[in-house]
């Protein structure tokens, strides 16, 4: 029997980047519980036992704040410069691992397979965002334009760049702009 069909895609650049944005978002909330962060890790393919302490979460929150700067960059040049700083600070040598045969071979920039969560989060996120900039020659994502939302999102497809993290935020802001327009034109 071959490996499950998601065996390889789980470790793709796209999947890693999705995990990065989801983690930045959950970690940017008010004092997230380790359970909530573990839930996001599980949803993005990390296997139990996750063994995530409150201290791990605090350290990951600091990393999330750094990664947010890449999403907040105004253009691809600033995103690349920000990412270069993070790579300098937080990345080790490029190596391949299969986690002793439990995963497909994929690249890592952390020091070793049992590196602390925060080190792994920074290194794996930097690697994915680096490839996205390499591949797309544009910022890898953005920060939601809604004043009531702080979520980051990934750039996707061609066409108009996204402004909002979700359809929900886009709809809410469209309705708010419409109301404001009505007020502005009211006698």
- Give the interface with Zn ion as residue ranges (CB under 5 A): 144, 146, 149, 151, 165, 169
Question: In which element (H, E) is residue 106 found?
Answer: strand 106-108
- Residue 27 has which token pair? 């970690």
Q: Which is nearer to Zn ion, 64 or 144 (CB)?
A: 144
Least Å distance, CB 61 to Zn ion, is 19
The residue among 124 and 146 lying less far from Zn ion, judged by its C-beta, is 146
Q: Is the peptide bond before 49 cis (omega within 30 degrees of 0)?
A: yes
CB 178 → Zn ion: shortest distance, Å? Answer: 18
Alpha helices in the chain (DSSP H): 6-9, 13-27, 34-43, 54-72, 76-90, 117-136, 167-185
| CB-count burial class (<10 Å; 0-12, 13-18, 19+) for 155 | middle
Residue with Cβ nearer Zn ion (103 or 166): 166
Q: Which helix (H) or strand (E) holds 33?
A: none
| Min CB(78)–Zn ion separation in Å | 21
Task: Name the residue nearer to Zn ion (CB basis): 67 or 122.
Answer: 67
Q: Which is nearer to Zn ion, 20 or 146 (CB)?
A: 146
Least distance (Å) from Zn ion to the CB of residue 166? 5
In this complex, which beta carbon is closest to Zn ion, that of residue 106 or of residue 172? Answer: 172
Q: How many CB atoms lie within 10 A of CB 167?
A: 8
**Nearest Cα to 23, choosing from 9, 43, 7?**
43
> What is the 8-class DSSP label of residue 44?
T
Minimum distance of Zn ion from residue 153's CB (angstroms): 8
Q: Measured from the CB of residue 170, what is the shortest distance to Zn ion in angstroms?
A: 8
Nearest to 117 by CA among 95, 143, 90, 154: 90
């Amino acid at each position: 029997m071959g490996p499950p069909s998601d065996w390889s895609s789980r470790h793709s650049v796209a999947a890693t980047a999705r995990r990065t944005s989801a983690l930045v978002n959950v970690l940017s909330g008010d004092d997230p519980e380790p359970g909530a962060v573990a839930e996001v890790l599980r949803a993005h393919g990390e296997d139990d036992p996750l063994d995530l302490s409150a201290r791990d979460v605090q350290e990951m929150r600091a990393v999330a704040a750094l990664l947010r700067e890449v999403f907040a960059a105004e253009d691809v040049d600033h995103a690349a410069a920000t990412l270069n700083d993070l790579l300098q600070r937080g990345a080790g040598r490029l190596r391949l691992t299969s986690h002793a045969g439990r995963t497909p071979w994929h690249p890592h920039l952390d020091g070793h397979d049992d590196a602390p969560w925060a080190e792994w989060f920074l290194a794996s996120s930097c690697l994915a965002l680096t490839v996205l900039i390499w591949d797309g020659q544009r910022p890898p994502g953005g920060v939601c334009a809604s004043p009531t939302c702080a979520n980051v999102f990934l750039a996707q497809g061609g066409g108009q760049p996204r402004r909002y993290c979700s359809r929900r935020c886009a709809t809410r802001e469209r309705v708010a702009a419409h109301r404001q327009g009505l007020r502005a034109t009211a006698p």
